């Protein structure tokens, strides 16, 4: 027989994380992006408030600080919407939610 059967074992993509499928990898990446996004929202909110405090009544600086706070709050709301939509899609499709595991 010229052609023989070959058997392959599934091994984790990244040994340290236990990621074994492309879906696990995509979930891990989206979780990372959401966490980094919320971190940036907190940083920009803090910077906006610092700019607001240090504006010392200057109307232009106060308006600029207000924009920073407004845009970072909108970014936080947007990230919360992305997180919620992702959870809804995972529930509707019956996929495992991150952190719950599955068999």
SS (H, E, C) 12-48: CCECCCCECCHHHHHHHHHHHHHHHHHHHHHHHHHHH
Structure tokens at 101: 């595991």
Give the number of residues written for the chain: 103
Cα 84 to Cα 11: distance, rounded to the nearest angstrom: 31
Cα 11 to Cα 35: distance, rounded to the nearest angstrom: 27
| pLDDT confidence of residue 23 | 75
Cα 55 to Cα 34: distance, rounded to the nearest angstrom: 31
Query: What digits encode the pLDDT tens for the residues 55-93?
Result: 988 999 999 999 999 999 999 999 999 989 988 887 887
pTM confidence score: 0.69
Is the model's pLDDT at 103 over the cut of 50? no
């Amino acid at each position: 027989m010229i052609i023989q059967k070959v058997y392959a074992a599934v091994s984790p993509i990244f040994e340290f994380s236990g990621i074994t499928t492309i879906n696990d990898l995509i979930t891990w990446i989206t979780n990372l992006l959401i966490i980094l996004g919320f971190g940036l929202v907190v940083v920009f909110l803090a910077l906006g408030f610092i700019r607001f405090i240090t504006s010392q009544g200057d109307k232009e600086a106060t308006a600029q600080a207000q924009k920073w706070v407004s845009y970072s709050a909108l970014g936080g709301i947007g990230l919360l919407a992305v997180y919620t939509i992702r959870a809804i899609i995972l529930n509707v499709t019956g996929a495992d939610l991150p952190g719950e595991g599955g068999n």
